[in-house]
Amino acid sequence: MADNVIRVLQHTMPKTDFVRLCVITSLAVCCTLITALSFSRSIDFISYQLFFIPIIYAAYFYPKRGLLVAFICGVAYQAVGYYYRYPDYGALIAVTSEAILFIVIASLIAYFIEKIRFGETRYRSVFEHSQLGIALFSSADFTIRQTNSRFLAMLDYTTEEIIGMTFSSLCLTPMEKERFLEKISKTKATENFEIRLGTKSGAGCWVNLSWNTIDETTISCTAVNINDRKIAEKLNNDNMMKYSQLTENSPTGILIIQDGAIQFSNPSFSVFSGYSNNELAGKTLDEFVDSCDRNEFIEFAKHWSENKHIHGDIEIRFVTKTGRMRFGALTANSIFHLEKPATLVNIVDISEKQRLSDKIREDNVRRRGIIITVAHELRTPLQPILGYLNLLISDPQGFGIVEETKKILERCLTSVDRERQIINQMLDLSVLESGKLQLSYSTFPLESLVKSVLDTSGYLSKAEVTIDIPESVTLTADKDRIYSVIDSLLLNAVNYSKPPRKIKIFYCSETDDTQDHISVQDNGIGIEKSVFLSIFEPFQLADAAKLSRRYDRIGLSLSIAKKVVQMHSGDITVTSTVNIGSTFTIHLPREMQNAS
């Protein structure tokens, strides 16, 4: 590499560039001397156009530096011309115009050279890095002139091996070659022509070819490797009988549906539906679907005839021959049956699972009833306890209570009050989960609601709170419920912030936004991203073992807040950085939604 580099005055340059620099310099000097001679001797046949030789040479190899060469030649030509033609002003103007022409010509050459090279670079980049195999071959004899690496890898050839071969010779069999020649002779532009090409080892590779003519002598052809798909299709066709035998003993119901009708059903589906194979053949599957689920099933099955990728599953109620209701989980896959596209449907009997789900649902309703009853029973005796404790603490001297005893009573009052709050939160959560809570919508200013929460709960004395909410912002929601949501988020922010506690509540919606976004930001301990979702679950904390003791929490307030917002067809999200702080954002739709 060092042999191709020349050092000049502490600078290095490639030998090629050095030689070109010498040529350009020599040409420019010669043109200047010849021009000086022609001016001094008044030799008219020696023209300024001599300077175009170094200018064009420089602009071709170095478009931008060619402008500099043109400028230098122009200055040299003008200096010589001025020296010999002064004071002939007409001649001086002509000399100046000719010098300017140098720069114009160099600029045009540089512009077009750059455009050509950019086009070549872009074409080369697309050609080399395309995910498709590309080959360029002669339109006369189909001799391959150029290919990209993708095409070479597809057939396992090297560039030297494949250049010069004819494209038709790559066809695997004489019949395939005849098909190709017949097709390309009829049209010079073709898409999705499937054929087998031979690899270097002689194996066949199915490809999807598309070609068109890019000039009078060259055809550009792209190739997509579809070998795996073709092999899979062949295996599906060859093994259908074996597969049918395997499905006979499968515990899963299996159907093959073609053109919308059932072509095959295994014994498990017959047991599931109560119909025999003969009764099922030729019928459409939606005939056995309960009317409540028919539209959902038709939406799921509409892609089958379109041979599209089918993903996911669906749970459907079926009506058996005896009129009994059974539940099935459906999955579908595209296959080929008798060389035609079809759909393989698997149906798993989940009737027992559904029965258990219904029982769990009933148990949850019963559990909520028990929780509500127990919570009411626990709350009833707390009221007189709170009353007596407040009475004793309010007049300790009258009841003969010493200071030490008063402190004990105050701690008892705090514990009893916390238990009351927990019971109230459990009641609120049970009511929300039961779906019996009705929202009372109204329109109210957001800023005044936030200030009311701050004043009532005394957060301003516990933290430095900043409000950034425009006075014009109003919400259409259940005011009391949104009050409790904001109160829960502010309480959460105050409890988890680090001194000096800095809380910011701000509004961050654009004019054309369909939702209102209210954020509460703290400078607290932060939350690990892995527990973002779980903190909104009942009795869940970011670090339950530590935080429930340190911050006096049981993990209900965020769960209640999220359920209230979801009843408004909204959501609560969180972003957080550990040891930096968290931001909880309420998202509420601007248009009033029906309460769920």
pLDDT digits (tens, 9 = 90+) for 494-512: 888 888 889 999 998 887 8
Q: In angstroms, rounded to a whole number, what is the distance separating the alpha carbons of residues 492 and 457?
A: 12
What homologous superfamily is domain 130-232 in, according to CATH? PAS domain (3.30.450.20)
Report the C-alpha gap between 275 and 548 in whole angstroms.
Answer: 59
Q: What pLDDT is recorded for position 522?
A: 92
- Res 107 pLDDT > 70: yes
**Selection from 495, 496, 492 nearest residue 557 by Cα:** 492
Q: What pTM was estimated for this model as a whole?
A: 0.38
571 pLDDT above the threshold of 70 = yes
Q: Is 215 helix (H, G, I), strand (E, B) or coil?
A: coil
Q: What are the extents of the domains in the chain?
A: 2-127, 130-232, 239-349, 355-434, 441-589
CA distance 152 to 239: 33
Does domain 239-349 fall into CATH 3.30.450.20? yes
Q: pLDDT tens digits for 543-565?
A: 444 444 343 444 577 888 888 88
pLDDT tens per residue, range 19-52: 878 888 888 888 888 878 877 777 766 667 777 7
Q: Give me the percent of the chain exceeding a pLDDT of 90.
A: 13
pLDDT of residue 584: 93
Specify the range with the lowest mean pLDDT, choosing from 186-200, 394-408, 537-551: 537-551
Peptide bond into 174 cis (omega under 30): no
pLDDT tens digits along 240-288: 566 556 667 777 888 888 888 888 888 888 888 889 888 888 888 888 8
Q: What is the mean pLDDT of residues 372-400?
A: 74
pLDDT digits (tens, 9 = 90+) for 313-363: 788 889 998 888 888 888 888 887 777 888 888 888 887 777 777 676 666
Structure tokens at 371: 């929780």
pLDDT in tens, 57-84: 777 777 777 788 878 887 887 888 788 8
Would you state the pLDDT for residue 465? 92
Q: Does the pLDDT at position 8 exceed 70?
A: no
Per-residue CA distances from 30 to 23, 27, 39, 54, 352 (Å): 10, 5, 14, 10, 100
- Residues in Cβ contact with 544 at an 8 Å cutoff, skipping those fewer than 6 apart: 555
Q: What tens digit of pLDDT does each residue of 510-539 get?
A: 878 889 999 999 998 888 888 777 787 765
Helix, strand, coil percentages (3-state) for the chain, rounded to 5, are 55, 25, 25
Q: Please enumerate in sequence order all residues whose Cβ is within 8 A of that of 329, keeping only pairs 6 or more positions apart, or say none.
A: 313, 314, 315, 316, 347, 348, 350
What pLDDT does residue 344 have? Answer: 85
Q: Which CATH class is domain 441-589?
A: alpha beta
For residue 349, the tally of other CB atoms under 10 A from its CB is: 19
DSSP-based three-state secondary structure for 495: helix
Band the pLDDT of 113: cuts 50, 70, 90.
confident
Strand order in the sheet with 133-138: 144-147, 133-138, 218-225, 204-213, 190-198
Where does residue 485 rank: exposed (0-12), middle (13-18), buried (19+ CB within 10 A)? buried
Average pLDDT score over the chain? 80
Percent of the chain exceeding pLDDT 70 equals 80
Beta pairing partners, 517: 587
- Mean pLDDT across 398-425: 76
Amino acid 459: pLDDT: 86
**Above 80 in pLDDT, residue 438?**
no
**Which residue's structure tokens are 């620099």?**
21
Q: Do the domains 130-232 and 239-349 sit in the same CATH topology, yes or no?
A: yes
**Residue 72 CB partners (closer than 8 Å, separation 6+):** 28
Pairing of strands 204-213, 190-198: antiparallel
Nearest CA-CA partner of 438 in 595, 241, 251, 258? 595
Measured between alpha carbons, how far is 481 from 439 in angstroms, rounded to an integer? 8
Residue 111 CA, distance from chain mean position: 39
The single-letter code of the amino acid at 237 is N
Q: In whole angstroms, how large is the CA radius of gyration of the chain?
A: 42
Q: Report pLDDT for 405.
A: 85
CATH class of the structural domain 355-434? mainly alpha
pLDDT band at 467 (very low <50, low <70, confident <90, very high): very high
pLDDT value at 98 more than 50: yes
Q: What pLDDT is stored for residue 213 in this prediction?
A: 86
221 backbone dihedrals φ, ψ, rounded to 5°? -125, 130
For residues 183-207, give the mean pLDDT.
88
Torsion of CA 13, 18, 24, 26, to 10 degrees: 140
Residue 120's pLDDT band (cuts 50, 70, 90): low
Which pLDDT belongs to residue 82? 82
Average pLDDT over residues 440-444: 90
What is the structure's pLDDT at 277?
84
Please give the structure tokens belonging to residue 591.
């248009």
Angle formed by the axes of helices 89-129 and 63-85, to 10°? 170
Half-sphere exposure of 371 (CA within 13 A, CB side): 19
